[in-house]
Amino acid sequence: MKLCVNLQKLHFLNLKTDLEIITSKDLASQADVRLIASVYFKNSVNRYWRNRRDSTGISNEEKIHLRQKLLSHLREENYQIALQLAVIISKIARIDYPREWPELYSVLAQRLQSADVLTSHRIFMVLFRSLKELSTMRLPAHQRKFAEISSHLFEFSWQLWQNDMKTILHAFSSLGQSFTSNAPVEHQDDLYLTCERWLFCLKVVRQLIISGFQSDAKSIQEVHPVKEVCPMFLNAIQSFLPYYLSFQQRHQKFWDFTKRACTKLMKVIVSVHDRHPYSFGDNCVIMPVMEFCFNRITNPEPEIISFEEFVIQCMIMVKSILECKEYKPSLTGRVMNEKEVSMEQMKKNISTVVRDTLRSLLPDERVVLLCNILIRRFFVLTSSDLDEWYQSPESFHHEQDMVQWTEKLRPCAEALYIVLFENHSQLLGPVVVSILQEAMNGCPASETSITPGMLLKDAAYGAAGHVYYELSNYLNFKDWFDRALSLELMNDHPNMRIIHRKVALVLGQWVSEIKDDSKRQVYCALIRLLQGKDLAVKLAVCRSLCFLVEDANFSKKDFIDLLPTCWDLCFKLVEDVQEFDSKVQVLNFISVLIEHANEILPFASTLVDFFQKAWEESSGESLLQIQLLVALRNFVIALGYQSPICYNLLLPILQRGIDINSPDELNLLEDSVMLWEATLSNAPSMVPQLLGFFPSLVDIIERSFDHLQLAVNIMEGYIILGGTEFLNLHASSVAKLLDTIVANVNDRGLKSTLPVIEILIQCFPMEAPPMIAATVQRLILICLSGGDDRDPSKTVVKTSSAAILARILVTNTNYVGHITSEPSLSAALQQAGVSIRENILLSLVDMWLEKVDNATVIQQKTFGLALAIMLTLRLPQVLDKIDQILSTCTSIILRGSDDINEESSGDNMSSNLSHHKDNFPSKDSRKRQIQASDPIKQISLGTSLRDNLQVCATLHGESSFNAAISRMDPVVFAQLQKALQMTSLG
């Protein structure tokens, strides 16, 4: 124990110490100490091998020593330590190969030439780990280097694999012929080590073929090793399979190896096909593989029947070939030049050949046979399935319907069936309907015994459910429901749980075919099933009801009176189920119900109690709490202005969720922020506790901009809802938040943020600009920086920023004069490389003149009013720009932009309606009211321009003013007169 503590101290000081302990012959018997040292070494490589800003890392001399020492200790007898060393070498290789460690693979290859079985096993362990690590590096230079490694290592690895294959099969033949295990233990250990080396060698060969060659789907270059290795892999499978049964009783570890070998070989063939489909499409590969897999599925040998893992891989292989997009007819036209066939045409040619091959392998009668086998053999529940169902309904439900389809035999068969049906829907549609009809005739709705007929009907219903979209052309759902499904749902015999569960799933799958005249019946039938006792049935019902409620054609009028019962049943179901996935599924349905309920208020008290209890019981279950946060958000939205009735529950949960120092912050923050936004959007008024949450938004944004849009929406909610009280309490937080965002986000982020800055200034024209002075300066910097001529996003950002500055000038003229004269602004502009020929205000005038054509109607009027105010300032240079100013203002007036206050009438109407309907204005209606009362809309640009022209004439003198006016284009001058309804400007 003391030595272990010393190791913890030493590994931070010197990696040499760790490696000396690992390789020490004196400590050979102390495997636990050496293993700890190897783990420390590995962790240190992760932390210190690469030089970082906060660490000097390991010296080059020490790295050289450590790399050499590692390669000199490849014959490690302890497997766990050898595995750690392989991982260590792979991690170093990712960083150092090839620049610092170019000899790595040449040394490994050289050592393999004369290595014994143990050493070669360890070397292949290192090769596999390091190649796997390097294969994840995606830069072209790294991929070229990997291809170079493949060219050097492939032949040797492939030859060793074949030699080991012969050795293993010869030994297996001897073992298979003996009725007892008489071979010496040492011999069996050597043989098993050879088997394990063979497996590592297989993994290396796979890695070299998959990552050492560009996918032929991109290059259309034949990958020759595919045609060499895949037939050999198939032969190896066929050679190993007979030992699956014969070894099961007498040679357990070789039986286990046989299982792993056959499964791994088929997985490798699948991955080779996925990577190099065109090379795989050669007749010497695809034909024997497809034929072999088809036969293993439809007519398996005795040793295959119980070998589910292998049958799954055969199904995956057939599915992969059937759905391979490279083998589908191309929708593009023929592309050729005069000298050579294009790559696209080459793809078409290969695809045509492969499709012809597949048609010869799968004629119609074999497609029908495969379809029948999948439904009648693999879809049918077995006695072990029924035992599992009765013992644990929840586990059964999730294994059958939520498990990864590649992990279980029935879901895998269903996935293959779906692809087969999609490829041959016209052929298989009548076949599936025929099987369905046969099953219903063989097991009428009144049948309650668990017979082969009932199990076939369950399988047939599943088959019909999976392909509802295509099968609806051959099967009338209403007839099926009226004549069979509805009758079966009324049969309450306990054995009917088998059919009830499948009918429930079918109703969720055929949702698009449930028309208005059947919806009420379907809703009632499913609610009735939800009142039953079997959890597997109720979870299936829950999932299907979720689909039905979410459907675009969901009938609220047919469901509304069922809602109270549905609530009660869901609340009870959450308590009854034990598994995490079950609780999440039911909570998801509750959330959907809340979202689509017509009237939530009558159930509010019950829901609050439910959420309170569920939250308390979900402590430590982050994923469950996420689902609760989603449901709470829907609850708040459904309650609308009545949402304060749940604040006693909601606000404490929200406060914990938005705390970045909370242990669950990483998991709950996003959904908590979404709930925060919904709470503000539906709050009738600001309450003190909610008001106090705002500083948390600063903490969240300072950590990352992942939730920027939500943060902007929340800030807008506080501005609109909190008013002056909010601003007085959190002015510094608002300033800090806006400055952090504007200073650091990209144009997309700015586009999201600028509207909330505008509404802040709109609500508080005198208080806000000085409060957010740093942000205003940054907006000036954005406006006066160049580089948006060809970038629409930058143009929008500059235009919006310019409009905000124009608004400040209109509503708080003195402040603009103050901030543009600040030395800090001039320094910032100079630091950013922005040169100002005249003063900053005149540069902004140029920006307003430039961006007016990119602006919205309200922005155009804001620009016009700002330009009109510029006429009243004591800046002689204004007269030099007066023709442009007047021309722009005239254009805005004549376009009708000066009359936008009329637009607010519609807003006022909708706002008043909203206020009348809910007794409280929503956030959106408050926002419309603010926009309707916008001073920019109330001020007349024509009047302002006329008055300001007179001020301008007085400021600069009649002669200078008239001289400037006389330089105007006569046509523009005439338009100005028309706009101002004046006959003279003297």
Cis peptide before 98 (omega within 30 of 0): yes
User: What span, in angstroms and rounded, lies between the C-alpha atoms of 327 and 350?
Assistant: 8
User: What span, in angstroms and rounded, lies between the C-alpha atoms of 2 and 145?
Assistant: 46
The series of mean pLDDT values per 10 residues for the chain, 986 residues long, is: 41 66 79 88 84 67 90 90 93 90 89 86 93 86 86 90 95 77 67 94 94 88 93 96 86 92 97 95 94 95 86 97 88 49 74 89 96 96 94 90 80 95 95 96 93 97 93 92 94 95 95 92 95 94 94 92 92 92 91 88 90 89 92 93 94 94 84 96 92 95 92 95 94 95 93 95 94 94 79 89 95 90 86 78 90 91 94 89 91 78 42 43 80 88 91 91 88 85 50
Question: Half-sphere exposure of 41 toward its Cβ, with a 13 Å CA cutoff?
Answer: 32
Integer angstrom CA distances of residue 754 from 399, 800, 864, 937:
50, 7, 20, 19
**Block residue for tokens 């490690």:** 76
User: What span, in angstroms and rounded, lies between the C-alpha atoms of 395 and 578?
Assistant: 10
Choosing among 3.40.50, 1.25.10, 3.30.1490, 2.30.29, the CATH entry for 426-598 is 1.25.10
Note the pLDDT of residue 481. Answer: 94
Note the pLDDT of residue 335. Answer: 47
User: What span, in angstroms and rounded, lies between the C-alpha atoms of 380 and 419?
Assistant: 19
Contacts 24+ apart (CB under 8 A), 475-478: 475/433, 475/436, 477/510, 477/513, 477/514, 477/518, 478/515, 478/517, 478/518
CB under 8 Å to 912, separation ≥6 — which residues?
A: none
Q: What's 634's DSSP letter?
A: H
| Tokens read off for 762 | 């709109």
Dihedral sign of CA atoms 940, 942, 945, 951 in order: negative
**Which residue, 491, 432, 426, 428, is CA-closest to 456?**
432
**Block residue for tokens 């891989």:** 313
Note the pLDDT of residue 953. Answer: 92
Residue 52 bridge partners (DSSP)? 55
Residue 336 bridge partners (DSSP)? 341
Note the pLDDT of residue 338. Answer: 45
Say what the alpha-carbon torsion angle 273, 277, 278, 284 is, to the nearest 10 degrees: 30
| Tokens read off for 866 | 């700002």
| Tokens read off for 963 | 């001289």
Note the pLDDT of residue 442. Answer: 94
pTM for this one? 0.80
User: What span, in angstroms and rounded, lies between the C-alpha atoms of 674 and 717?
Assistant: 13
Q: Where in the chain is the domain with CATH 1.25.10?
A: 426-598
Identity at 74, one-letter amino acid code: L
